[in-house]
Structures are given as structure tokens and as C-alpha cells.
Structure 1
Amino acid sequence: MAAVAPAGVLLGVDVERGPALSAKGIFPGFDDAVLAPGERAAVAAAARPDALRLTLFSAKEALLKAAGVGLAVDPASFQVSTGPLGPPAGWTPVHTPGVESGPVYLQPVDVGHGHVASLACTAPLMVERLDIGKLPGQ
């Protein structure tokens, strides 16, 4: 996955294997290491807890990449959401460590069966999906 934004807009993306997954890639202690307390409660109540775990992890990775801090910030130190992310609600604003100018906006990206992906940026932009095989010159 690749993404572009206008100059001055911070941008981060992340893709993870899931949600048609077993818990592959989720290690013992994952919830304590990655999830804020409210997110842990949401995962405990979720019909598909591993899918929610990976969705939240992908979201946190994209947000921290947009902030330019990566995993130097403890992902459990901030909460992304305890409810649905993205469409139909659209962009979800999230206070992200490392970004003092305001919220970073988050949106899940449909990348097909078997993976979850997130897009984060400092301005809620129009998102257009382009398949590489349909680009000019392909």
C-alpha cells in the first residue's frame, strides 16, 4: 500500500495480516503491551477479538508513523477507539503522542480478505483507491 498527501500533511499507513486469521502474530501479553484499558475492555466484549486487536494495532502503527515517532511511543499509552472506526462515520480524530498541532485523523482501508490496513493523516483528506494494474502505462 502506498499513500500520498499534500505538502505539510503528516501521513502514515500500516498493513497487518488478518482478520481471516487465527491469532497468528498475536503474542502472549499483546493486550497489555499494545492496548489502552478501554480498548482491552472492547476486545474482551468483541465478537471477533483477534480481528479487533489487529485493527487497533494497525491503527496505532499508522498514527505513530504519521507522528514520526513509530514504536518509540508505547502503543498502550493512548487510546484509538472503543467503537467502530471509519465508514460510515468517516475519519476518526485521535489525539496522538508526538503531534501537538491537533488530532491525527484515522481511517481503516479495505485491502481485501486476509489483511487489515489503516491510513492516518493530519488533515481529513479525500481517499481514492487505485489498483496498480489499472494505473496508466500498466
Structure 2
Amino acid sequence: MLKGLGTLVLVSSDGPDARMLLHHRNVAAAAAGRVCHVVALSGVDADTASTFCYAVVNGLTEDLLQASAVPHSFARTSPYVEFFQGRLTEARPTGLLRLPAADGQISLVTRDEVAPTSATTLCSSVTSSLRAVVTEPTDSCSSAAPFHRADAPSR
């Protein structure tokens, strides 16, 4: 099904259980089809030991790709503004907003900011594995592109 594909961009699906099943299938299909490179959207908090369900799924997905023979890169993004807006709406009735924010600071990006940064940074490096961290610009009043830092190899 994926045989001969140059680059597969793995965009997370909804819900932690659905995401893990779909990610596992996609990584297995990429390995079986000998895909040249997988670019996977992840999160800055990707960690299998996290208490945040999406961080665990992102960590597991990164582990799956690390264990595969498929060259890969990760775009570790800050939480999306669109996700945060939804959480605020859910919190209005109770006034309680629960997020994995450690010291209370949060950096948000929009989906529209992540796409070009991820494509430019990750899809251009098909032969090596990278991890890019995509967050908001340092100057919150700036209209500059989101900050990204790319490290090699991934993880």
C-alpha cells in the first residue's frame, strides 16, 4: 500500500486510543512498504511516563518509529490554539481548567503556523532523522514565523 512512497507525513488522529492504533498501523505499513522517510507530528511533552494522555501516545509513537528501520523526523509542537480554545469552552461551566502546564506557562501555536515550518524543516531532510520543536515566536507581539529548533538525530 505504501510501497515506493518517498515521504509519509503522519498527522495525529483524534483520541488517545484511536491515535495509538492508527499510529501503530501506519508505522508498520511504512516499514513494510519501505517508505523513504516518515515525518510525524508530535508534542513538546512527548513522554511515555507523562500523566497527559496525548503525551503518552506521542511518546509511544516516537518509540515505534525509533524501533523501526524507517528514517523519520518529529515535529514536536506546542499545544494548538484551536485545542486550547476548546478546553476553555469546556471549562466555563465549572471554572476549572486542567492542563499539563507544569509551572503554569504555556506556548501556543496554530495549525497554520505548524504546517509550513514542519514541511520546510523536516521534509527537506529525507536521509537523516531530525526532531524539530515548534513553538510560538519569542516576541508574542511579533508576526514572525514560529520558532523551531532542529536537532539530529531524533530523540
TM-score (norm 2): 0.25
Q: Which has the higher helix share?
A: 2
Q: State the structure with bigger RCO (CA 8 A, min sep 6), 1 or 2.
A: 1
TM-score (norm 1): 0.27
Structure number with bigger Rg: 2
